[in-house]
Structure 1
Amino acid sequence: MGAERAAKVGSATALLVVAGAAFAAYGLDQLSKFLVVGNLTEGEIVPVLGSVLEWQFVRNPGAAFSLASGMTWIFTILAAGVITVIIWFARRIRSIAWAVVFGLLLGGVLGNLTDRLFREPSFGLGHVVDFISTPWLIPAIYNIADIAIVSSMVIFMMLTIRGIGLDGSRELRPSKAAATGA
């Protein structure tokens, strides 16, 4: 089996992409939450595109769909662990696509972790500000950090399915003709 090189870059370039994607996701998340908290009343629903897209300000003490709302401290610890793993893996990345995956994940996790650390009711137990509602798509209210995290996971799955490694190399699967010796 041979290996194909796909979008391989140096570690410095990959780290810049990780940092840029993380900064963009984190910055947009925190700016949007600042605007929501400052301009909407909790529970208020503001139609943006009719019932297709609405702003609905809620404070989420749990995970997706407000699951495990009494376990906020566990999500705080998990987020810190994810950030540690991302920083550890970042040095090994040589692919722009993988750098985007880790950057979006880092920015999203940092965005929600910031809420858990610094928002009410207390340090480490804060509630995440959610405000994006798409009732026709999924019955959840989410934020920019959540979008960054989910987007990173979609790209992660695509890269994994395509067999692209952190170093940008891609394992080629032998064709049927090559496998049968024809």
Structure 2
Amino acid sequence: MSRRTALLGALVLALAVFAVDQGLKRLVEGSMRLGESIPLIDGVLHLTFIKNPGGAFGILGGQAGILLLGSAVAVAFVLWMLLAGEPTRATTAGCGLILGGAAGNLVDRILEGEVTDYVDLRVWPIFNAADVAIVLGVGLLLLAALRPEGDAKPSKEAAP
């Protein structure tokens, strides 16, 4: 896969993730009261509208500068990954997911100073679609990193 194709693919995926994330956040904000919780699967999955002033799990609440700097560093690192090596489908998808998720949460932090969260599993802190995309993207990058370098199919002529 060429760098140009990888970059374009990652940006298209990032835009799709960003649009879905922002759309779901606006839907929740427009149809629920802050703190309201709607059971989708009682005791397992609830739609709960909260505002999170911190990062993952609410850490660094009130530290907007650190969170913005961390987001900028993460975006720069992901772009470097796309431009530095030979891109694969896994790294392209992983980078696109991370970029879209990071952009979704970053826009919330810049415009509102906090992030809208709504997915409530009752055994985990409440999160959103951007968080899911970031976690999936990191998982794909880890899998790509663990994959052997020569992931091409072995030649039929290989000697025993």
CA-based RMSD: 2.1
Matched, 1:54 2:41: no
Name the structure 2 match of 1:107. Answer: 100
One-letter code aligned to 1:96 = R
Amino acid at match of 1:40: M
The letter of the residue matching 1:83 is V
Residue segments in structure 1 that go unaligned for 5+ positions in a row: 1-8, 120-125, 172-181
Which residue of 98, 109, 125 maps to 1:116? 109
> Shift in Å at residue 90 of structure 1?
2.1
- What is the aligned partner in structure 2 of residue 45 from structure 1? 37
TM-score when normalising by structure 1: 0.77
2:78 to 71, 86, 94: 86
Residue 139 of structure 1: aligned partner: 124
Q: What is the identity, as a one-letter code, of the residue corresponding to 2:146?
A: I
Amino acid at match of 1:10: S
Residue number in structure 2 paired with 1:123: none
The answer to whether the 8 A contact 2:60-2:67 is kept is no
Answer whether contact 1:42 1:58 (CA < 8 A) is retained: yes
1:149 to 134, 146, 156: 134
Please report how far the alpha carbon of residue 70 of structure 1 lies from its aligned counterpart in structure 2 after TM superposition: 2.3
Query: Whose helix proportion is higher, 1 or 2?
Result: 2
Residue in structure 1 matched with residue 15 of structure 2 by the alignment: 23
What's the % identity of the aligned pairs? 32
SS at match of 2:5: helix
**What's the CA shift for 1:89?**
3.0
- The aligned length equals 154
Instruction: Look up the equivalent residue of 1:163 and give its one-letter code.
Output: P
Structure 2 residue runs of 5 or longer lacking an equivalent are 153-159
CA separation of 1:158 and 1:89: change in aligned 2, threshold 3 A: closer
* Runs of 4+ with deviation above 3 angstroms: none
Determine which of 104, 114, 125 is the counterpart of 1:127. 114
Note if 1:74 corresponds to 2:66.
yes
